[in-house]
Amino acid sequence: MNSSDIKIFIVDDDPSVRRSMARLLNATGYHVETLSSAEDYLQTKRSRGPGCLVLDLQMQGLNGLELQKTLTEAGREIPIVFVSGHAHVPESVQAMKGGAVDFLTKPFDQKAFLAAIDRAIAKDHVTRKAQTDQRSVDSRLALLTPREDEVLWQVVKGRLNKQIAFKLEISEKTVKVHRARVMEKMRAGSVADLVRLTEKTNGKNSSSEQ
């Protein structure tokens, strides 16, 4: 993984802490952007490349948890590593439930910190790849005719051609033709492939099964 492509945001109202964490991540090879408040972070443009957010829990104004919530609601998913002056159990639980990668209690050593950053970035990679894959599946699904779409969801459910023909009130031969087209358009080698690809698509056509 090329660290230089990765950008890490640090949001902390303590300038000294902010600066030191930035230095450490810098020395490790990350691009770092430091911000003194949650509000400031919300003003930044969504970065294209992978990265993560190092977020202080207690801040004047919008605090860490509130920023996390705001980001989730806005669909701005970014792995968050929380740092806090001391271990607040309720807050840490809330943070982790909200999808935080880690919750570090200050002062922390680089090992734990960098490991958390690594995990966050890895997570971001996964998230970003999944998002890319999904976008590809979606584009393939978009190529299907309505009848092909109907056939696809019947196939994914494991129904036989005969059953599909009955359900859709078409001939078995026609089902086979549609099925071949679907496999081709979805670039699926097998029914198993087809099932995996459509797994993430939360059955927007699931209503058609009825």
Partner 1 sequence: MGKTLRQNSKKAIPIVPGMPMEPGQRHSGYPFQTGIIGARKDESQFFIEITRRWVWSADAKGLFTYVSPSVSDTLGYSPRDLVGRKHFFDQCRSSKAKREMLTCIKNRRPICHMLHDVRHKDGRVRWLSTNATPKLAKDGRFLGYVGLDEDITESVAGQLKLAESEARLSAILENTTDLIWSVEPKKYRLLFWNSAFTEFVKDEYGVPLREGMLCDEVLPLKVAERWKLFFAQVLRDGPFELKYVLHSKKRTFHLAFNLVRNQGVVSSISVFARDITESSKAEEVLLKAHQKLAESQARLSAVVESTSDLIWAVDAKEFGLLTYNTPFADYCEQGLGIRPALGFTPKQLTSTARAGEWESFYRRALEKGPFRRELATISLDRILDIYFTIIKHEGVIFGIAVFGRDVTVERRAQRELEQQRLEMTRFQRVSTIGQLAASLAHQLSQPLTAILANARAATRFISASPPRLLEIQDILEDIIRDDRRAAEVIGQLGTLLNPKRSPFVSLPLNNLVMQADELLRSDAANRQVIVEMHLGTALPNVSGDPVQLTQVILNVMLNGLEAMENSSAKEKPLLVRTFLAADGSVQVCISDNGPGLPPDRLNQLFEPFYTTKKQGLGMGLSVSKAILERHEGRISAENNLEGGATFIISLPAVVSSHSLVKQTQPR
Q: CA-to-CA distance for 12 and 34, rounded, in angstroms?
A: 8
Q: Which CB sits closer to partner 1, 20 or 44? A: 20
Token output for 87: 């271990």
Kindly indicate which of the ranges 19-27, 73-81, 119-127, 166-174 contains the residues binding partner 1, using the contact rule CB under 8 A: 19-27
- Kindly identify the residues of this chain, within the stretch 100-159, that bind partner 1 according to CB under 8 A: 105-110, 113
- Binds partner 1 by CB under 8 A, chosen from 6, 8, 11, 17: 17
59 binds partner 1 (CB under 8 A): yes
Q: How far is the CB of 107 from partner 1 (least distance, A)?
A: 4
Q: Which CB sits closer to partner 1, 113 or 153? A: 113
Q: Which CB sits closer to partner 1, 16 or 190? A: 16
Q: Which CB sits closer to partner 1, 3 or 105? A: 105
Q: Which CB sits closer to partner 1, 99 or 108? A: 108
Residues that bind partner 1 (CB under 8 A): 14, 16-17, 19-21, 23-24, 26-28, 58-60, 63, 83, 85-86, 88, 105-110, 113
